[in-house]
Amino acid sequence: MLKVRVGDLLRQGSLEVGVSLEDLQIELFGVYLQELLEWNKTFNLTGIRDPEDIVIKHFVDSLTPLPYLEPFARLLDIGPGAGFPSIPLKIAAPGLKVQLVEASRKKVSFLKHIIRTLKLESVAAMHSRVEDAELPDESFDTIISRAFAHLEPLVKIVSPLMEPGNTLVAMLGPTATEDHHRHADCALAESLELKRVVSLELPLGRGGRTLLFLVKI
């Protein structure tokens, strides 16, 4: 019964953020959930332990940028923890190419396990701080991160890695209009232009999300 309830919640929740999932994708998310719950007993990968909260606050939340991404984008995910947002994005959009850079060794072990278990292609997990990561040339055109509460430290880290025309997708908590002016100034100081702001509410009143899309000048 839990499996059915979680599947229905995921299907409906994803539709509410503009993403339609097929049955096979729902199944993959189900495996992802079970593996995360099992590993979490030992490694504390996430403080969210309720399955339905994981579905909304991790899986559905991770899918919120998808309607704005190119279907074959090359993503660099910074600080994904247990895989958020790029593993859910990859499940929902198999054409994406994904490089995850995570500083926690135990989380990288889980990432490699879940990539193998779900048989995801064109996905790799690297154990490193992003500042020290040795990334292949032209390995990405879009950087994405859900790991930062504030924009300033993120843009300071990633701007030197970006080429003109590259996009940064910063996934922040709820923001107000006055915050967006500050975000634009903060980005411009690092040679980034704020192109789009998307504010939304997660299903079932599980919190707000702001997506900032910034392009390297």
Q: Identify the structural domains of the chain with CATH numbers, from first to last.
A: 2-216 (3.40.50.150)
For residue 206, report the phi and psi dihedrals to the nearest 5 degrees: -90, 20
Smallest CA-to-CA distance from 147 within 168, 167, 170, 165 is with: 170
Q: How far apart are CA 131 and CA 160, in angstroms?
A: 9
Q: Is 135 left (phi over 0), alpha (psi -120 to 50) or beta?
A: beta
The whole-chain average pLDDT of the chain stands at: 95
Q: How far apart are CA 140 and CA 135, in angstroms?
A: 9
Q: At 136, is the pLDDT very low, low, confident or very high (cuts 50, 70, 90)?
A: confident
24-42 pLDDT, tens digit per residue, is 999 999 999 999 999 999 9
Angle, helices 177-188 vs 151-158, to 10°: value is 20
What element of type H or E holds 86? helix 86-92
Q: How far apart are CA 166 and CA 176, in angstroms?
A: 26
Mean pLDDT of 190-203: 96
pTM: 0.95
The vertex-192 CA angle with 190 and 195, nearest 5°, equals 150
What element of type H or E holds 141? none
Q: In this structure, what DSSP letter does residue 77 have?
A: E
For residue 17, report the phi and psi dihedrals to the nearest 5 degrees: -105, 15
Residues 136, 160 contacting (CB under 8 angstroms) = no
What is the per-residue pLDDT for 4? 58
Mean pLDDT of 67-79: 97
